[in-house]
């Protein structure tokens, strides 16, 4: 009797897990999550407050610049970061994401989403290279934001045990997960 192929076994397990996840969508309780909205425009911060409130979110921090955002991230256990692309003259939301990653400021489960009106292909490609959890173009509806956040949160939850194992250099455990 031959040994089963571990790659095939992992693929089959992943497919079964994906099917069970699709059948049982997780309802996200936004009231338990801490949001950080990074946007220099006062009007946009106000609109995000109303949108997030309509989704049930009641813990929302704000920052207008990268320095403010980094300070809040260091002081708080942020769950979701919604950042404008255009932040400062020499830096943008992708610079913020890069800084967070380099300094390991957020937990693995933190969702980072670029929320912007920026449509230039060069900048969108840059966003893909930095790998934010999502990129949402303005204007958007509360429903669109909620769907994108739900998807990003579910993805983070599905890979959390693998991420934890990898962060602790427990590679065999990560493969088993």
Which pLDDT belongs to residue 169? 82
Residues of the chain with pLDDT under 50: 1-2, 6, 9-11, 18, 20-23
How many other C-beta atoms lie within 10 A of the C-beta of residue 81? 28
130-144 pLDDT, tens digit per residue, is 678 988 888 899 999
DSSP assignment letter at 18: H
Name the 3-class secondary structure at 174: helix
- Return the ∠ at Cα 119 (arms to 114 and 124), rounded to 5°: 55
Structural domains in the chain, CATH included, are 30-161 (3.40.50.2300)
Predicted TM-score (pTM) above 0.85: no
Please report, to the nearest 10 degrees, the dihedral formed by the alpha carbons of residues 153, 50, 43, 113 taken in order: 0
């Amino acid at each position: 009797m031959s040994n089963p192929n571990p790659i095939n076994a992992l693929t089959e397990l992943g497919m079964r897990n994906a099917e069970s996840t699709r059948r049982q969508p997780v309802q996200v309780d936004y009231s338990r999550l801490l949001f950080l909205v990074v946007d220099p425009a006062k009007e946009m911060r106000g609109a995000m407050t109303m949108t997030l409130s309509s989704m049930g979110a009641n813990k929302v921090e704000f920052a207008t610049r990268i320095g403010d955002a980094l300070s809040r991230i260091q002081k708080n256990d942020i769950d979701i970061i919604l950042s404008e692309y255009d932040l400062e003259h020499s830096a943008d939301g992708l610079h913020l994401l890069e800084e967070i990653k380099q300094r390991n400021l957020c937990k693995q489960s933190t969702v980072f989403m670029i929320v912007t009106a920026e449509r230039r292909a060069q900048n969108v490609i840059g966003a893909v290279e930095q790998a934010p959890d999502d990129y949402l173009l303005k204007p958007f509806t509360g429903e669109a934001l909620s769907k994108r956040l739900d998807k990003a949160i579910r993805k983070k939850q599905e890979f959390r045990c693998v991420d934890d194992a990898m962060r602790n250099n427990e590679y065999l455990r990560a493969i088993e997960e």
